A and B are shown apart, each in its own frame.
Chain A
Amino acid sequence: MAETLRVNPIDCTGHGVCAELLPELISVDEWGYPIVDRRPVPPALDREARRAVAACPVLALKLMRN
């Protein structure tokens, strides 16, 4: 099933790890907060997406089923 990346913006403190691990889908704004591609994660990036989710130091990045 297709999944989408979402940030819990309250938990997010702008470490930026996610954007480093997954630049294809995540960029950062000038304050360091992530701008996440809202389209479903393409299968080719599934592993990288899971790695980015696991790497977030405050667990603010999530994969959500649509």
Chain B
Amino acid sequence: MTTAVNESAPGGAARQAAGLPRLLPASPEDLRGHLARYGATPYRGRAGALIADIEASGLTGRGGAAFPVYRKLAVVAQARGRKVVVANGSESEPASRKDELLLRLAPNLVLDGLQLAAEAVGATEAHLYLHYGSTPEILRALAERASRGLDGFGVTITQAPPRFLAGQETALVNRIGGGPALPTFQPPRVSERGLGGAPTLVQNVETLAHLALIARYGPRWFRAVGTDAEPGSMLTTVYWPDGKCRVVETEIGAPLRALLSSGAETRAWLVGGYHGTWLPLPEAADVTLDHDSLKRFGAAVGAGVLVALPADRCGLTEAARVTGYLAAESAGQCGPCLNGLPRIAAGLAELAGPGHRKQTRADVERWVGSQNLVAGRGACNHPDGTVRFVRSALTVFAPEISLHARGQCSATNRRPFLPLPDGMPTSEDDWT
């Protein structure tokens, strides 16, 4: 696996003029550096006070679902009694590296955000849910803050198992509650009934870092970049055809071309990670990084994983490999997902092999299309996201499927490109 590095996107001068990057310093910032740059955590002194600013800012969740942050804040703030806030840094999408880098470079910004969110909803406890084997900077930052008595809330850390669904909100609540990181059926939403039955606010760590900056500089500052409908900046994990992985903070609405190469060296783009969507080139070359533009292709920003698949690789083979992983990552709790995903994965694997039965192509297209074998039929969005990924692969790599049917493949490089965790899950025990 490549190492994530914080690197400027092309057009560095324009980015600087726009005030980017907002979140990522060049090197890990300890508490002293953080306080020198930002000053103390800007507590508002009472619950609810920050929510209007967050609403005005238009901040949405950066964990993938892009849900308006103020609405979750408001739901939990209205509740009485015990309330919980969780910073979600599990980053269980294997291609995403942005939360890991954020937690390493700006841990105090995330922790400020967690404290401020806890104050805003009147929480009684705060948690941090971290990726398996995460970096020590965040632990050091917590200890430093505790020793100086900076935080209103003690923070409990729970480690997420290295599973694709471990970061899903209900799975997170189950894991922090001491159980396996398995999704549960909703409703109730965790904001109404979450950890131990308490209303629970779950926000991605990047979302909390933005929140900490909005608390300091206000909604107008936040909206100075991005689009009217989708303001602000976001962290993206970008894979270029050279195989390098970079974490880049970009304004929402930026042309994808400014982040990813689109020339002859690129076969296709993948937007939104493994629950995301393949985009054809050159047809999609003008899309911008916002839902308004991406929805033309049925795509969404997701957690900001952006891939330029090099022209020497086979997109069909890549898609089949990832789909096999996604099928293996089913929690196995819901019949349609447990039965349907392996079947879809096996069908796609056959299409990616040399020669396939004619019927298989029609079958796979039907399963992810009109027949709707799995989408909308699970407790979580895993079947839906997997179907979106497969459906776009069938469209974008349709010529490749025909080539493979004749026993050919356009790739000259057989090395896998899209990153997957080392070793597939092997047992039920992997969920804790």
Contact = CB atoms under 8 A, between A and B. Distances in A.
Contacts of B339: 29, 31, 33
Interface stretch (B9-17, B225-233, B298-306, B372-380): B372-380
A55 interface: no
A12 interface: yes
Interface in B76-131: none
B185 A10 contact: yes
A9 B373 contact: no
Nearest to B378: A9
Interface residues of A, number: 15
B335 interface: yes
A11 B185 contact: yes
Contact of B336 (A8, A29, A64): A29
B169 to A, nearest CB: 15
Given A9-B378, A9-B379, A29-B373, A14 B335 contact: yes
B334 interface: yes
Most chain A CB neighbours (cut-off 10 Å) among B334, B337, B373? B334
Contacts of A33: 335-336, 339, 377
A33 B335 CA distance: 6
A35 interface: yes
A14 B376 CA distance: 17
B373 to A, nearest CB: 7
Interface residues of B, number: 16
B408 interface: no
Contacts of A12: 334-335
B377 A35 contact: yes
B413 interface: no
Interface string A1-12: 000000111111
A5 B337 CA distance: 19
Contacts of B335: 9, 12-14, 29, 31-33
A9 B184 contact: no
A32 B339 CA distance: 11
A9 B185 CA distance: 8
A8 B377 contact: no
B379 A10 contact: yes
B333 interface: yes
Interface string B160-189: 000000000000000000000000110100
Contact of A8 (B337, B340, B373, B379): B379
A14 B184 CA distance: 18
Contact of B334 (A10, A32, A35): A10
Most chain A CB neighbours (cut-off 10 Å) among B335, B340, B377, B379? B335
A11 to B, nearest CB: 7
Interface in A50-66: 64
Contacts of B376: 38
17 contacts: A9-B336, A9-B337, A9-B377, A9-B378, A10-B333, A12-B335, A13-B335, A14-B335, A29-B336, A29-B340, A31-B335, A31-B339, A32-B335, A33-B335, A33-B339, A33-B377, A35-B377
Given A29-B335, A29-B336, 5 more contacts: A14-B335, A31-B336, A33-B339, A35-B372, A35-B377
Interface of B: 184-185, 187, 333-337, 339-340, 372-373, 376-379
Give the 10 A-B residue pairs with the shortest CB-CB distance, closest first: A9-B334, A33-B335, A8-B185, A10-B333, A31-B339, A10-B379, A10-B185, A9-B379, A33-B336, A14-B335
Interface of A: 7-14, 29, 31-33, 35, 38, 64
